[in-house]
Chain A
């Protein structure tokens, strides 16, 4: 046990600081991906609710593909495809050699577009949970569409979306572990590095697992709290 404390501690031989930094990186990359997913998800929901046939089809294809294809493949596509495009671009302006895309950017975008596919469904469900009468009332008092969105739709849809968003956040948090395969030093990658150089993989992966568990537990509690706050004004049946 004292060995373990020394290994994961903050002393000269301890990996504590590195693991803590990596945990922050996991939070950062997951949050970036989740935020990106929210934007994409809102667009998807809008396309499926109010778009024309073409937009609806595009949103459908996006949702089906991103929910059906392994996340690892999407990360590979973004990372290697992005590097390929970037290299071609660099060659165009006269540079030579290989230009790699930033693994944070590629990973966050990959997890973000996967998250967007799930969030689209959640936002759509939340929109349909808004009472029809409210929309009709807003239209009949002559609200312009943007105002209607800002005052009536957005606040209520967000309120109904919170439980679903909590789930998708957990998903993004866990999917961020896959970004380790393209070399971003987040929690899992750091654990792998530590495991490799100390030959104590069990300690490192258990520590990573516990840290993930803590992250998901505390963020789950935050979402529950947010739900309570957002639902203050709603009568429960």
Chain B
């Protein structure tokens, strides 16, 4: 391996980091909002809402993300109604299609994580809040949400890392983020090992930064269980 090539490759790849970061950040942020809505639908007690959210999660967790990306990017453009609608400028762009697919995908996985967190809040807490005369919305905002989110945080951190990894699929619909640039360099120079080492290092660094940030946030939010060991051995959900 010659170091000149590695340095040159690293420079080219680093130019893709902003796009990788943007895809990950926006999809996770929008996905989180959507995920909370889905989790609330499942816990609402309404059968219709519960069933709708359940089917959504089932479909998006049961199919490969790449199929979802293709369906949105290639599939929707087939319909004249879509092509003539005001939304066409969005669905025409691979960036927005990738972002939409990533958002919908992470929302499905995250909603289950958040639901698990909310369910872990002891019922006594909610009973106490009711006894104080809090309204449902207030109970949710003050009692259920803050406690549930802390419980969900370690698993959610995992999901953030998985999403960062998944943004690589955007390269298949021509987006030049880190993996897109990497595959271009491989095709041009035919030196897959060196390129893999560089690109891999970037992703590992990103993941490391994310896991540190989540650990820090966790410690900040839960000083009372500081030092308690969380079971993180559980396998990640299938993607």
Q: Which residues from chain A sit less than 8 Å from chain B, CB to CB?
A: 64-65, 68-74, 76-77, 79-81, 84, 118, 121-122, 124-125, 164, 167-171, 173-178, 180-181, 188, 191-192, 195, 199-202, 205-206, 208-209, 212-213, 216-217
Bound state CA distance, A76 and B64, in angstroms?
18
Bound state CA distance, A180 and B161, in angstroms?
24
- Which residue of B172, B192, B204, B235 is within 8 Å of A68 (Cβ)? B204
Q: Which residues of B contact A168 (CB under 8 A)?
A: 235, 238
Q: Which residues from chain B sit less than 8 Å from chain A, CB to CB?
A: 58-59, 62-68, 70-71, 74-79, 161, 165-169, 171-172, 179, 182-183, 186, 190-193, 196, 199-200, 203-204, 207, 233-239
- Beta-carbon contact of B74 and A188 below 8 Å: no
Q: A69-B203, A84-B190, A216-B62 are in contact. Are A208 and B67 (CB under 8 A)?
A: yes
Bound state CA distance, A73 and B67, in angstroms?
18
A-B contact count (CB 8 A): 143
- Which residue of A80, A167, A180, A213 is within 8 Å of B62 (Cβ)? A213
- Beta-carbon contact of A70 and B179 below 8 Å: yes
- Beta-carbon contact of B71 and A68 below 8 Å: no
Top 6 nearest A-B pairs (CB, nearest first) are A170-B238, A70-B168, A177-B64, A202-B75, A80-B192, A201-B74
- Which residue of B76, B196, B238 is within 8 Å of A73 (Cβ)? B196
Q: Which residues of A contact B63 (CB under 8 A)?
A: 174, 209, 212-213, 216
Bound state CA distance, A209 and B203, in angstroms?
28
Bound state CA distance, A54 and B2, in angstroms?
28
Give the distance to chain A from B100, nearest Cβ to Cβ, in Å: 15
Give the distance to chain A from B57, nearest Cβ to Cβ, in Å: 12
Give the distance to chain B from A132, nearest Cβ to Cβ, in Å: 17
Give the distance to chain A from B210, nearest Cβ to Cβ, in Å: 10
Q: A68-B161, A199-B78, A201-B75 are in contact. Are A167 and B237 (CB under 8 A)?
A: yes
- Beta-carbon contact of B75 and A205 below 8 Å: yes
Q: A171-B238, A212-B63, A213-B62 are in contact. Are A72 and B70 (CB under 8 A)?
A: no
Bound state CA distance, A184 and B30, in angstroms?
34
- Which residue of B70, B165, B239 is within 8 Å of A174 (Cβ)? B239
Q: A70-B179, A202-B76 are in contact. Are A178 and B193 (CB under 8 A)?
A: no
- Beta-carbon contact of B182 and A73 below 8 Å: yes
Q: Which residues of B contact A74 (CB under 8 A)?
A: 196
- Beta-carbon contact of A212 and B238 below 8 Å: no
Bound state CA distance, A64 and B211, in angstroms?
12
6 A-B residue contacts at CB 8 Å? A73-B200, A118-B236, A164-B235, A168-B235, A195-B74, A217-B62
A72 (CB) vs chain B CBs: closest residue: B168
A166 (CB) vs chain B CBs: closest residue: B238
Q: Which residues of B contact A178 (CB under 8 A)?
A: 64, 66, 169
Question: Other than the known A76-B192, A125-B233, A217-B62, what 13 A-B pairs have Cβ atoms closer than 8 Å?
Answer: A72-B179, A73-B182, A84-B193, A122-B235, A124-B233, A167-B236, A178-B64, A188-B64, A208-B67, A212-B63, A213-B59, A213-B63, A216-B238
Give the distance to chain B from A68, nearest Cβ to Cβ, in Å: 4
Most buried by A among B68, B79, B196: B196
Q: A69-B203, A200-B78 are in contact. Are A76 and B196 (CB under 8 A)?
A: yes
Give the distance to chain B from A206, nearest Cβ to Cβ, in Å: 7
Q: Which residues of B contact A124 (CB under 8 A)?
A: 233
Q: Which residues of B contact A201 (CB under 8 A)?
A: 70, 74-75, 77-78
Bound state CA distance, A209 and B169, in angstroms?
17
A215 (CB) vs chain B CBs: closest residue: B62
Bound state CA distance, A81 and B237, in angstroms?
30
- Beta-carbon contact of A77 and B78 below 8 Å: no
Q: A68-B207, A69-B203, A70-B203 are in contact. Are A205 and B62 (CB under 8 A)?
A: no
- Beta-carbon contact of A81 and B204 below 8 Å: no
Q: Which residues of A contact B196 (CB under 8 A)?
A: 73-74, 76-77, 81
Bound state CA distance, A171 and B62, in angstroms?
10
A164 (CB) vs chain B CBs: closest residue: B235
A70 (CB) vs chain B CBs: closest residue: B168
Bound state CA distance, A174 and B68, in angstroms?
11
